[in-house]
Amino acid sequence: MHTVVSRDGSGIGLRPVSDTGVPEGEPRVVETSALAQEVARDEAAHVRWTWDDTNGWYPEFLAEGVRVDRAHDLRLAHAVLRASTLSAHTALAEAGATAWDRLTPIPPPGGPTAAALVRPDRHPGAEALFDLGESGPAATVPAGSAADDPVDPLDPVTELAAQLLAIKDSTDPGRLRLLLAAESAGALAAAEMHHAGLPWRGDVHDEILTEALGPRPRPGARPAKLEALAQKIRAALDAPPTLNPDSHQDLLRAMEYAGVGSRSLRKWELEKLDHPVIAPLLEYKSLYRLYTANGWNWLDTWAPDGRFRMEYVVGGVVTGRWASTGGGALQLPHNVRRAVVSDPGWTFVVADAAQLEPRVLAALARDERMAAAGRTKDGASTDMYAGIVATGAVDSREHAKVGMLGAMYGGTTGVSAQVLPRLARAFPQAIELVERAARAGERGEVVTTRLGRSSPLPGESWAAVQGSAFDEDAGADAQSRARSQTRSWGRFTRNFVVQGTAAEWALCWIASIRRRLWALGEDASDGAPGLAPAPFDRRPHLVFFLHDEIVVHAPAALADVVAQEVRAAAEEAGRLLFGDFPVDFPLSVAVTESYADAKG
DNA sequence: ATTGAGAGCGCG
DNA sequence: AAAGCGCGCTCTCAAT
C-alpha cells in the first residue's frame, strides 16, 4: 500500500493508493502540526510514502521529529524506468518525455545551496506547458490547481500508476522493484543525514588550519604561512614581488624564465624536477588547496554550528552513485577528518567495504574462481588482491590491484595492460564481462547493471563524429578522432556495469543499515542523550556515506551491536543482489570517537 | 558584472 | 603515457 503525498491547500494531502496504482479513498488533509500522529498511523500499516521528490517533503517530516520507513520517490523512479532496458517496451518508456523528465532535484532546506537559489525553478518546462504567457511573474502553478486542472502533468497518483504498470510489464519486475526501493531508501537516508548532520568540531578544524596556515587572515589577505612560501617561491625564481603564485600563467612564465623546465604545474610533473623552487611550490599548492577548499570560509558556510550538513544528490551520477553539491561532502580531505568527533557519550562506527568493485565484478560475472579469491577464510577477512596473488595468476599484490583496476577502467598502458592477459587466463568470465560491456559501448549500445540501471546513449555529437569518419574525404585525423571517441565510450560502459552495480550494493547496504539501526530502538542505558536532533536524539543513525563507506553516530553503549548490524547489512546486500552466489563483501569496521582514526 | 573555459586537486 | 572510470570545488583569465 502507498500513501501518496501532495499539497492540498495549506495542508498536506495523504491519499491511499493500492499496489496496483488504484486510489482507495479520498485524500485526507493534514496540517503540519498533526503530521506526527498521522504518519504513525500509516507507518503501522507499513505504507510506502510516495511523493514527487523526497527533498520536497521529508525534511518537513523530520523537522517534526517524524521518520518514515519506506518511500517511493517518483522523480528518481521515473528516471530509472525511462532508461532501463528492462522496462524499455513499457508504456512509460515508449511515451515521449513528460514533465517528470524535466524535474530537477530539490536541494535540502536551510542549507547554503537552498539559500542561494532565490526561487528554485522546480519545473523548467512549466511555463511552456501551462503557456503562462509574458505577463505575470512566471512563477508557480497556483495552489490547488491540481484539482481544477484535469491534466495536471505532475499528478503523483497518475504517475505512480504508470510506474507500477511499467514495473509489472518489465522483463524483471523483481530487480526493478528492488532497485527503486533501494534508490528511494537512499533518498530517505540522504535527507536524514542532512537533518542530523555530521558532528563537526569547529575548534578542532580551526586548530588544524592555524597549525598549517597560521592564524586566520583578514579578508583578502593571505595566511602567514602561505605568504612566507610565496616569498620563497619568488626568491627561488628571482621573480618580482608582483609574482602571484595563484596565477598559473604568471608562475609558468616565471618558471620558464628561470629555466625550471616544466610546462605544467601538476604535482607529479613538478616532483620529477630538480630546482630550488619545487619544494616551496609543492608545499604552497598543498596548503593553498586546504585554505581555499576546506578553510575557514568552508567552516563558516558548511559547519557553523557543530554539524556539517552535507547535501547529497541521490542518483546524481549516471552510474547511480550519489553526487553532492555545495559542501563537497564526497571530497572531504583526510587531513580535516580529525574535526569529525562524536558527541560526549557517543561514538562512531565507521565501516568500509574492502575492494567492493572487483568483488562486484566477480559476482556479476558469476566467476567462481575470482569470487573464491576474495572469499573470507577461517573467519579472517581476506584481502582480495592477496587472494588473486595466491591463485598464481599474478606475482604481486600491486600487480593484482593495478591489473583489476585496469580491467575495470579500460587501462591500455603500462603494468595494467601487461598484467591483463594473465588475469584473463585466470578469470575468463570476469574479464569477458567487462570486455563485452566495452564492445557494446563502442558499438553505441546501452549496458545495464545487475538491478536494471541502464547507461545513457552517447550524445548526438558522438554520431556526428562517427559519421564524419566515413565520409569520402575523411582525413586521418577525423578517423582517429572517431576511433578515440569510440574507445572512450567503451571505457565508460565497461566501467558503468561495475561502478553502477557497486552503487546498487551500497544502496542496499544503506537501506538495510537504516532499517536495522531504527529497529535497535532507543539507547536504554542512562548515557548522554547527545546533541542529535529528534528523532535520532537517543538512537544510532547514519551521518556519512561515501560510495563504499559509512559512518554511524551511536550512543557508546550501542557501538558493538551497531557494528554487528552494519556487518549483517553487508551480507544482506550481497544476498539481495546476487542471491546465493558465493561471494563475500567483507568490511573493515572501526569504533572510534574521531573519524580520522578510522581509516585503515 | 556575469559566464565559461581550463587547470589542478580532492574523494571513491 | 600520472594510464584507464566517476564526480565537485575553487581559482584565474578571457570573453560576453
CA of A547 to C1' of C7 (A): 11
Nearest residue by alpha-carbon distance to C1' of C8: A328
CA distance A328 to A330: 5
pLDDT of the residue at A379 = 66
CA of A242 to C1' of C9 (A): 27
pLDDT of the residue at A381 = 63
pLDDT digits (tens, 9 = 90+) for A152-169: 889 999 999 999 999 999
Per-residue pLDDT, averaged over A90-115, amounts to: 91
CA of A312 to C1' of B5 (A): 26
> Is the pLDDT confidence value at A463 over 90?
no
pLDDT of the residue at A123 = 43
Q: What are phi and psi of A313, to 5 degrees?
A: -115, 95
Nearest residue by alpha-carbon distance to C1' of C5: A409
Average pLDDT over all residues of chain A: 91
Angle at A330 between CA A326 and CA A331, to 5 degrees: 90
CA of A409 to C1' of C1 (A): 16
> Which range (A46-50, A120-124, A434-438, A548-552) has the least confidence?
A120-124
**Contact between A29 and A12 (Cβ < 8 Å):** yes
pLDDT digits (tens, 9 = 90+) for A190-207: 999 999 999 999 999 999
Report if pTM > 0.85. Answer: yes
Per-residue pLDDT, averaged over A99-126, amounts to: 72
Chain B nucleotides close to protein (CB under 7 A) are 6-12
**Contact between A59 and A194 (Cβ < 8 Å):** yes
- Express as a percent the part of chain A with pLDDT over 70: 94
Q: Whose CB is within 7 A of strand C?
A: A 244, 246-250, 267-268, 271, 292-293, 297-298, 313, 316-319, 321, 323-328, 330-331, 402, 405-406, 409-414, 416, 488, 491-492, 495-496, 499, 547
Per-residue pLDDT, averaged over A511-527, amounts to: 92
Nearest residue by alpha-carbon distance to C1' of C7: A323
Q: How far is CA A350 from the centre of its chain?
A: 17
Block residue for cell numbers 479513498 = A25
CA of A128 to C1' of B7 (A): 39
The x, y and z cell numbers of residue A240, run together, are 618580482
CA distance A462 to A484: 11
**Amino acid identity at A365:** A
Nearest residue by alpha-carbon distance to C1' of B10: A331
Nearest residue by alpha-carbon distance to C1' of B12: A547
CA of A16 to C1' of C13 (A): 57
Per-residue pLDDT, averaged over A466-471, amounts to: 80
pLDDT of the residue at A125 = 38
CA of A247 to C1' of C15 (A): 18
**Contact between A270 and A252 (Cβ < 8 Å):** no
pLDDT digits (tens, 9 = 90+) for A562-596: 999 999 999 999 999 999 999 999 999 999 999 99
Cβ-proximal residues to A290 (8 Å cutoff; 6+ apart), any chain: A209, A212, A213, A333, A335, A336
Across-strand partners of A591?
A349
For chain A, what's the residue count? Answer: 600
A148 pLDDT band (50/70/90 cuts)? low
The x, y and z cell numbers of residue A200, run together, are 563537526
Nucleotide with minimal C1' distance from the CA of A332 is: B11
pLDDT of the residue at A128 = 35
> Is the pLDDT confidence value at A122 over 80?
no
| Most distant pair of Cα atoms in chain A: their distance | 81
Block residue for cell numbers 551511536 = A554
Block residue for cell numbers 572510534 = A592
Cβ-proximal residues to A447 (8 Å cutoff; 6+ apart), any chain: A437, A440, A441, A454, A455, A493, A496, A497
Block residue for cell numbers 521529529 = A65
Residue predicted with more confidence, A412 or A91? A91
pLDDT of the residue at A48 = 98
Nearest residue by alpha-carbon distance to C1' of B8: A266
Q: What are phi and psi of A4, to 5 degrees?
A: -90, 130
Nucleotide with minimal C1' distance from the CA of A271 is: C2
Residue predicted with more confidence, A182 or A35? A182
**Amino acid identity at A62:** L
Chain C nucleotides close to protein (CB under 7 A) are 1-14
pLDDT of the residue at A600 = 52
Q: Whose CB is within 7 A of strand B?
A: A 248, 264-268, 285-286, 289, 293, 330-335, 352, 499, 546-549, 599
Per-residue pLDDT, averaged over A399-408, amounts to: 96
CA distance A50 to A72: 5
Q: Residue A305, class by beta-carbon neighbours within 10 Å (0-12 exposed, 13-18 middle, 19+ buried)?
A: exposed
pLDDT digits (tens, 9 = 90+) for A212-256: 999 999 988 999 999 999 999 999 999 999 999 999 999 999 999
Q: How many CB atoms lie within 10 A of CB A335?
A: 14
CA of A291 to C1' of B9 (A): 13
Peptide bond into A535 cis (omega under 30): yes
CA of A175 to C1' of B10 (A): 35
Block residue for cell numbers 521528490 = A53
Across-strand partners of A313?
A323
CA of A233 to C1' of B9 (A): 20
> Is the pLDDT confidence value at A478 over 90?
no
Per-residue pLDDT, averaged over A428-433, amounts to: 97
CA of A549 to C1' of B4 (A): 35
**Contact between A378 and A363 (Cβ < 8 Å):** no
Query: For the packed helices A476-520 and A559-578, what is the interaxial angle rounded to 10 degrees?
Result: 130
> Is the pLDDT confidence value at A359 over 80?
yes
